[in-house]
């Protein structure tokens, strides 16, 4: 399912090939969630797209935390 004006998980991995700190992960999650919330409130994202995007953000964060051995 394609999302309008989103950045894929793969894009983040390419932007930050080094391991992020726990703080950097949380900042990125916050930024992505805020951007998603804004699009949802504006009616640009359906309920299903919103849920899928949140799951994607969570999966990315879990993967990043596992790289540094931290718990999400």
Q: Residue 65 pLDDT > 80, yes or no?
A: yes
What letter would DSSP give residue 42?
A: T
Rounded CA-CA distance 6/66 in Å is 24
Question: What end-to-end distance do the CA atoms of the chain give, in Å?
Answer: 26
Residues 20-61: tens digit of each pLDDT: 889 999 999 999 999 999 999 999 999 999 999 999 999 999
**Whole-model pTM above 0.85?**
no
């Amino acid at each position: 399912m394609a999302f309008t004006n989103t950045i894929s998980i793969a894009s983040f991995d390419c932007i930050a090939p080094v391991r992020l700190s726990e703080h950097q992960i949380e900042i990125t999650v916050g930024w992505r969630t805020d951007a998603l919330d804004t699009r949802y409130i504006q009616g640009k994202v359906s309920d299903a797209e919103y849920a899928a995007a949140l799951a994607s953000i969570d999966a990315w964060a879990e993967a990043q935390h596992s790289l540094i051995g931290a718990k999400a």
